[in-house]
Amino acid sequence: MVEFAGHLPGLAAAEVEWRMLDFAAWGESVQVSVPVLSEAQALALAARVRENARSYLKTLSVAQIVVTIDKAVARLLDRDDPLRQKLEAILPIVTGYDRETVRLGLSGYLRTFRAPQLQRFLTEDFANPGMLDAFQPAIKGGFTRAYGPELLLHIWAGNVPGLPLWSMISGLLVKAGTIGKVASGEPLLAGWFAQILAEIDPKLGECLAIVWWKGGDEASERIWLGEADTIVAYGGNDALAAIRNRVPITARFLPHGHKIGFGLVSGAVLDTRNAGPLARLVAHDVMRYEQQGCYSPQMLFVERGGKVSPREFAALVSGELASFARTHPRRALSVAEAAGVAAWRSAEEMRAFDETGRAVLGDAGDPWSVVCVEAAEGLAPSGLNRTLKIVAVDSLDAVVPLVASHRAFLQSVAVAAAPEELFRVAALLGEAGVTRICACGRMTAPEAGWHNDGRFNLLDLVTITEIEQSAELAAEGFAPYVD
């Protein structure tokens, strides 16, 4: 089975060099052809997308763009649609995530891009989204209008299905000519989404391209970085630093680095009625996408003093992870990933020999691992792939100093607490640099219109043009109807 990745308006498949990427999982394999463009082709494509966006996309109203995206998303949500069926069949092989995780993850994620959610998304960033279409009166006087980039380059990373759609849709909403560079770990979805858009509105399909180059390929990267006026990039800090070094000083660079998520459970909620369901939600967050997402939890701080102790809660979470291992089997790990899991687990085992307050739950061969620690311990990554450390604390306030030194890596936190405590703790977490607080079980499904990494995802892309009041008043003096 060979699938083609990318979306290259104006270029015929035969004109382009293709490279084959091999994927295998769950006993099946698939080959994905990714395009390798020459410098001339890349430059021509950039010019074409920029020009098409200028002459067409920027003439559409935001409302029209929302309608088109909504139609495309509706197709991907329709389980009878052939493309949706293809996604469900192929993404598990490409990413290794199990079928149910891909199916549920896709639906849950795509649902946040329907028309009402897109409108919410727009109003989160623009008090009056009409300023994307025309000059709007400003409160201070004069008029303002927002313009998206002429050419917006997305450099995606990782294999969590669908993540590229997030920034791609943001770019389209601000009418940016769009180039997306897919990751070798999941090269398909972005290109297919672009093709659906092109089927619904062929002219809009000419305003975006989906390309590929090998991550870190400096020569290719330089070509594209030289063309774009705004760059959104995902990846580890080393990769981002390398990209930033090549970004022209006049371009806007918006990096999204790797993040570490965690959870807080108040002792007050840990009674025998809540503990079981809560443990299932925590395990769900750990299981979903094998902790590969920036929003995935790698540590859980549990307050002592509840009817269910942190150690007992750790046992409940372990039980739920064991049950998920049957319904949602862990994806096959590479040697390096398996070594990462084993190294994390065995290091914890070693420490458990010398400390009474440290327990490693489950067997070494289990497809999950939970470690429970009685002494306060600072935030640190787990071994990923369903490995979680549960740290007992005397109060939720005690968590803040344990995470504060990692400010640059903070993003999502799940909190299970009563309202008063939720808001009190949220204020402390926000101060420490946390940008998203959600319920347990929702960590991997940010709500529509969320502010990824605490930024204004649309506003960060635009520039504002202002007609100052002086120009407006002066113009009155030049009007033909002036007295």
Partner 1 sequence: MQGIRPTMRAFGKAWLDVTEAQIIEALLAFIDRGEATEAAFEEMALAVFAYQFAHNQPYRRFAIQRGRTTLTVRNWRDIPAVPITAFKDLTLSCTPPEQVERVFMTSGTTQGGVRGKSYHPTLAVWDRSMLVNFRQRFMQGRDRIAMGILFPDEEAMPNSSLAHYLSLAKRECGSADSEGFIGPDGLDLGRLIAGLERAETSGEPFALLGASYSFVHLLDALAAAGRRFALPEGSRILDTGGFKGQSREMGADAFYDALSAALGVPRRACINMYGMTELSTQFYDDGNAFCPPVKSGPHWIRSRVVDPVTGRDVPEGTTGVLAHHDLAHFNCVSAILTEDAGIMVDAGFKLLGRVDGADSKGCSLAVAEFLKAARG
Give the interface with partner 1 as residue ranges (CB under 8 A): 95, 157-160, 163, 185, 234-238, 256-261, 289-294, 296, 298, 333-344, 346-347, 349-351, 353-354, 360, 364-365, 367, 380-381, 383-384, 408-409
- Residue placing its CB nearer to partner 1 in the complex, 238 or 476: 238
- Residue placing its CB nearer to partner 1 in the complex, 354 or 420: 354
CB atoms within 10 A of CB 40: 9
Q: How far is the CB of 360 from partner 1 (least distance, A)?
A: 8
- Residue placing its CB nearer to partner 1 in the complex, 41 or 292: 292
CA 461 – CA 252 distance, rounded (Å):
8
Q: How far is the CB of 365 from partner 1 (least distance, A)?
A: 4
- Residue 128: which of 141, 119, 117, 115 has the closest Cα? 119
CB atoms within 10 A of CB 339: 12
Token code pair at residue 422: 């939720």
DSSP structure string for 440-477? TT-TTSPPTT--GGGS-TTGGG-EEEEE-HHHHHHHHH
CB atoms within 10 A of CB 59: 12
Chain centroid to Cα 184, Å, comes to 16
Angstrom CA distances, 469 to 132, 137, 146, stand at 20, 10, 17
CA 201 – CA 72 distance, rounded (Å):
10
Residues in Cβ contact with 9 at an 8 Å cutoff, skipping those fewer than 6 apart: 45, 48, 49, 52, 198, 205, 206, 208, 209
Beta pairing class for 28-36 and 2-4: parallel
- Residue placing its CB nearer to partner 1 in the complex, 104 or 464: 104
Token code pair at residue 353: 């020999």
Residues in Cβ contact with 320 at an 8 Å cutoff, skipping those fewer than 6 apart: 279, 280, 282, 283, 284
Element (H, E) at 118: helix 115-125
- Residue 186: which of 23, 332, 414, 59 has the closest Cα? 23
Residues in Cβ contact with 364 at an 8 Å cutoff, skipping those fewer than 6 apart: 342, 345, 346, 349
CA 437 – CA 297 distance, rounded (Å):
12
The SS3 of residue 299 is strand
Token code pair at residue 166: 């997030």
Token code pair at residue 423: 């808001």
Q: What does the angle CA 189 – CA 192 – CA 197 come to, to the nearest 5 degrees?
A: 125
Q: What does the angle CA 95 – CA 99 – CA 105 come to, to the nearest 5 degrees?
A: 80
CA 294 – CA 467 distance, rounded (Å):
40
